[in-house]
Amino acid sequence: MASPSNGAGTKHGYGLEVSRDDSPDLEQPRRAGGHGVVDDDHQGDFVTLYEERDLSRGLHQRHVSLIALAGAIGTGLFLGLGSSIQTGGPLGALLGYATIGLIVCAVQFALGEVTALLPVTGSFVRHAEFLVDPALGFAIGYNIVYGNWLSVPSEISAICVLFEYWTDINASVWIVLTIVVTFVVGISLIRIYGEVEFFFAILKILLIIFLIILGLVINLGGIPGHPRIGFRYWKTPGPFVEYIAAGRWGQFLGYWAVMTNAVFSFAGVESVAMAAAETRNPRRAIPNACKRVFARVSLFYILAVLIVGMLVASDDPRLNDESGTAAQSPFVIAASAAGIKAIPSVVNAILITSAWSSSNQALLAGTRVLYSLALKGQAPRVLLRTTSWGIPYVCVLIQTAFMFLAFMSLSSGALTVFYWFVDLVAAGVLISWITILLNHQRLMMAMKKQDLPLERLPWHNGWTVYSTPVALFFCVVILFTAGFAVFTTGNWSSSSFVSSYLDIPLVLVAFLAWKFFKKTRMVTLADIPLREALDAVERSPEAPEPEREGWKKWVNVLWD
């Protein structure tokens, strides 16, 4: 398998690049996939011939929609809501999640608009090079890669903790089994990955709907022998919780602390476009997924926060359970209080599938970003090697090696250190969102600079011109205030400070280092080749999806 050279090339399709390498397996310039030719060099900023030829477009609309849904709905929803209620109170938590939900909406629509124009592997990492600066793509790319290298073993460690709820079997058994199964899914056809995530997402959706309905039944007194609760806990102990400070300021800080926690609950929605070059009709499928995933995730989270705030008091001592199993879920606490004994095991089982689903998604995101970095000459060329069925297997093997860090969970001391390292990359979620919004803002500015009407974009919503800068401002503010508690009297913690802020200088150092060694410059708005990208879109219209009929039309409402 040959790799692209650092020299000039010729583009095909969405701007497909043929390297002028002497490797015999590269074909001469031709039409790839039936698309028109773009004779210019952007060094892989458009979809390259390698993606068109070596990757398989095995993901459908339903896969893409539910991959993002599966990634965003997990322990943050099933376990984390109790902590949010404790910190901000029922109303503070509701407002915090609603605020982040609006920011996620702006992020998703910004991502959808840029991806519809540039449906490339690596998503916003490659977009950053095209619209901002190659150094930014390098820095963000490696930030995502090492974040995913650590997140997979952390999810495997979580699975071990969850199995301890039922059995005392040595955790190493679960670690080995999870590594093997995760690797098998990661190295298999992309269609198999899509079907696995599709199945898990359906499980999560059904469980959430069930828990919300069950919560309403318990709250309204539908369980024999248990009185109606209503909004009792909104009155006592109250709708807000004072956090660190007293009075209104303390209540605001509680709300703000919930908002920073909510960011990480929504993490994963941005991965919807990571495998754009492996998606059928990506210019239509991914924007649709961005729009619909936001609506579903926001609806589930807002309803769940509302129900939990009605079921469990913010000062309930049972919320202090730190077992990491279903026992600490506020849904389980409410169900147990109502005498329903089967719920804990059901929730624990879904949590295990959620953790494994998250590890699968981290494997996909990490390997595709690493592959995209190799396309740009920012990673070793050997990473471009793919299987005959279109999987970058060298990238998968490297990330699989990092899964064995999960064996650190066998030592409690090592586990503490390991999770401290995992916390170091938590800010990467916000940095990714900031990059997506910055890419979109630059696209809007370049369209204006080059006198191109926004209506020429494959997918555009008029209000994103305003929502993007507002969301970008809030993301930057939240990023720099995520660890505000350590700056208050008596709350200083070196580990908390480092875990909240170290990722910022790491990204800056990577950005400046690549800029210094490669002498990169910020792309001027006038020089961004938007006309070529727009011309490629018009030359290559995607075929419309066939109309669904009968029962398929009603089932498709879950993802269409």
Q: Which residues of 533-556 are buried (b: 16+ CB within 10 A; e: fewer)?
A: bbebbeeeeeeeeeeeeeeeeeee
Query: What is d(CA 67, CA 199) in angstroms, rounded to the nearest whole number?
Result: 10
The token duo for 49 is 């011939």
Tell me whether residue 7 is in a domain: no
pLDDT at 6: 36
The pLDDT of residue 426 is above 60: yes
For residue 469, the domain's CATH number is 1.20.1740.10
How crowded is the C-beta side of 17, counted as CA atoms within 13 Å? Answer: 22
With both helix axes pointing from N to C terminus, report the angle between 428-449 and 81-117 in degrees, rounded to the nearest 10.
30
Where is average pLDDT lowest: 55-69, 143-157, 422-436?
55-69
SS in 3 state form for 476-530? HHHHHHCCHHHHCCCCCCHHHHHHHHCHHHHHHHHHHHHHHHHCCCCCCHHHCCH
What pLDDT score does 89 carry? 93
pLDDT at 67 (0 to 100): 72
pLDDT of residue 37: 31
Q: How many CB atoms lie within 10 A of CB 327?
A: 17
Work out the pLDDT band at 70, boundaries 50, 70, 90.
low
Band (332; pLDDT cuts 50, 70, 90): confident
Mean pLDDT of the chain: 80
Q: Of 26-35, 109-118, 384-393, which gets the smallest average pLDDT?
A: 26-35
Question: From CA 446, how far away is CA 132, in angstroms rounded?
Answer: 10
Token output for 537 = 């879109």
Q: State residue 478's pLDDT score.
A: 92
Measured from the Cβ of residue 350, the count of other Cβ atoms closer than 10 Å reads: 24
Element (H, E) at 227: none
Q: pLDDT tens for residues 469-499?
A: 999 999 999 999 988 888 988 888 887 888 7
List, in sequence order, every residue forming a beta bridge with 37; answer none if it has no partner: 12
Distances (CA, A) of 57 to 388, 458, 537: 13, 20, 18
Q: Which helix (H) or strand (E) holds 32?
A: none
Q: Count the alpha carbons within 13 Å of 459 in the hemisphere toward its beta carbon.
A: 25
What's the rounded mean pLDDT across residues 282-300?
79
Is 90 exceeded by the pLDDT of residue 450?
Answer: yes
pLDDT value, residue 510:
95
For the record, the structure tokens of 373 come out as 């970095």
The predicted-structure confidence for 205-260, as pLDDT tens digits, reads as follows 888 888 889 889 988 888 888 888 888 999 989 999 999 999 999 999 999 999 87
Closest CA to 14 of 534, 447, 459: 534
Distances (CA, A) of 349 to 75, 332, 455: 12, 13, 47
What is the mean pLDDT of the segment spanning 143-163?
A: 83
For the chain, counts of helices (H) and of strands (E)? 21, 3
Domain annotation covers residue 251: yes
Q: What tokens does 87 get?
A: 């910190």
Q: Is residue 377 part of a domain?
A: yes
Number of domains comprising the chain? 1
Residue 393 pLDDT > 80: yes
- What domain range is 361 assigned to? 55-404+423-544
Among 141-150, 238-247, 281-290, which stretch is predicted with the lowest mean pLDDT? 281-290
At residue 22 the predicted structure's pLDDT band, cuts being 50, 70 and 90, is very low
Kindly report the number of other CB atoms within 10 A of residue 462's CB atom.
8
pLDDT for 177-202, tens place per residue? Answer: 999 999 999 999 888 988 888 888 88
105 close to 72: Cβ distance less than 8 angstroms: no
| pLDDT tens digit sequence for 247-279 | 999 999 999 999 877 887 787 778 777 777 778
d(CA 371, CA 50): 10
Q: What is the pLDDT of residue 299?
A: 80
What is the pLDDT confidence band of residue 5, given thresholds at 50, 70 and 90?
Answer: very low
416 is a domain residue: no
pLDDT band with cut points at 50, 70 and 90 for residue 337: confident
